[in-house]
Structure 1
Amino acid sequence: MMTTTTTTTTKEAVWIPTGNMNTARTFHTQVTLENGNVLVAGGISDSKTALGRAEVYNPSTGLWTATSNMNTARCHHTASILMNGDVLVAGGQSVNGPLSSAEVYNPSTGLWTTTGGMKTVRYHHTASTLTNGYVLVVGGTSDGKTALGSAEVYNPSTGRWTTTGIRNTARSLHTTSILTNGNILVAGGVGINGTLNSAEVCNPSTGLWTTNITMSTARVYHTASILTNGNVLVAGGQGDGDAVLNSAEVLNLSTGLWITIGNMSTARFLHTQVTLKNGNVLVVGGVNGSTALCSAEMYNPSTGLWTTNITMSTARVYHTASILSNGNVLVAGGIADDSTILNSAEIYG
């Protein structure tokens, strides 16, 4: 009897340039819509003034199409997908200063509608869509100097914001992660007394905050993402004395403890981090001291190890990244090593 041997070849992922955005931008937001397209909004361009322009990327064609402008030009804002597929944009900075305003984008019509404003002007905050469909906004700053301790919740049904429980620590430039139990983990950032290693958890049902065990390393401008087992990976950033970090740690939800894992190959901050469909985590770009990075590396939760990945075509910092419906990753905009604001985009997959 003849034996037939079948060999399966696994394609190695690479970076491929895709269509350029119509507008070069940084400090913008990027979200993958329910229809698989990607919305990029706001930021700043070469004029160094906030942008009202928004555009949509179609992964099938690799092309960007301008959509209607936001009602308010803004940068350093947040963008959140609502339960109905619309996108809520909140806060940020405009040419006239920090914003409390918010607006909603309807992907079906391509139009922006002004909704209720937040109680507090803020930027460098975070925004998370809760399991009940509300959006929780946390921290940030109103003046670029003092971190905010306040948090507020947006109700899409009424278009109104309400203040929620006072947090234990005022912070800006932190990360926020939605845990598998629906609670919200806030970690690191900068507070009144400098860079933070503290973390705290909000229970949306009660609006109460509880202090979590502290991270091993104080960090700001870091990244965080949920692993497939529900744990949280935090990587890079700047530490005490503005030291650029290559360290990473994982919050084990079962024990409530942070566990230091292997270091990244390259210290970096202002990078992006995405959990892939296979459970690995891709960290991309950022800056190491004064040099923008084109390097990328991959964390494997099964081994706890980082491996250096193929580099991007363009070094970039202050860019955005999101996972597409096919599992590929789209990276867009940012600032190049020569301080040029970029309109380029590339795909990892």
Structure 2
Amino acid sequence: MTQTPVGSAAPAEPGGPDPAAYFATAHRAVAGNVEKALRGKPMAVRLALTCLFAGGHLLVEDVPGVGKTTLAKAIADSVDASWNRIQFTPDLLPGDITGIQIYDQSTGEFSFREGPVFAHLVVADEINRASPKTQSALLEVMAERQVTVDGRAHSVPPAFMVIATQNPVDLEGTYRLPEAQLDRFMLRISVGYPDVDAEAEILAGRATAGVPPELRPVASVDQIAWMAAYTSRVHVTPAIAQYIARIAKATRDAEELRLGVSPRGSIALASASQAWAACEGRGYVVPDDVKAVAGPVLTHRLLLDQEAEIRGVRPGEVLDRVLRSVPVPVASGVS
């Protein structure tokens, strides 16, 4: 298959004689496009696209000014699909997200007016600045791809994804996301500060600082839907499935945790591992794929007990010990 230059459009027709090569080529095209807007952060981009291709939802958590919204908007701009941005504020109401019933005087009937959540990609900016009641408006649509208003269900478009950003909860004017909300995000990532070279490059272009580059779509919604379907077919051997299950069980047995990984978390880890493998051009998962995504997939699902919190233990430290303690399958190829 002809290789697509980084940042150029993905091949027009999904699949072809070599679907694994097609997937890797399409991934490079989208990643290269996103990296035009978010410089010096290839790992953050890779993880974000892993979530997109796995059909999950993404939470980007970091301090202000490091490019959280830039990353979310760049992903939305890179896909030729409908997308809406919701700026979460303390006065935002659930109906402002999901939509409301409107009374039509001419017909004497109520009609449903869709909210901004009805799009392929929804950018929920600073999600933890809204009240918990408003945050909960996303629970149903993130889990079931539908919104229920006045007892009637309304489906959102296919290939639906929420990309949420949030500031650390110790900053002024923020609310902690409830555990049920966090569990619906497949991955939580941090962008982090750029390295010296990347920041110097940003400063060199300071005349246009604050003006994000205009990105053109390099993939269609049909291509993304195909990639998500292909991801689900990436082979997971029984040994890898056992490996993921043992990791989940080990978190539930960890003394420092009062809440380990749920079955939803195990499924998310398997799906993200499949997408990571597909981005590598492989049609099967190996243990290194699981390890590569375990932190972003599992850490936000772990709740420390009170004693561990007092001692300053971090969930990531517990997960690292879990990963070291669980035996890695030796024979993990396709069987």
TM-score range, shorter chain: under 0.3
- Higher strand proportion, which one? 1
- Higher helix residue share: 2
Query: TM-score scaled by structure 1?
Result: 0.24
Greater RCO, 1 or 2 (C-alpha within 8 Å, sep 6+): 2
Greater Rg by CA: 2
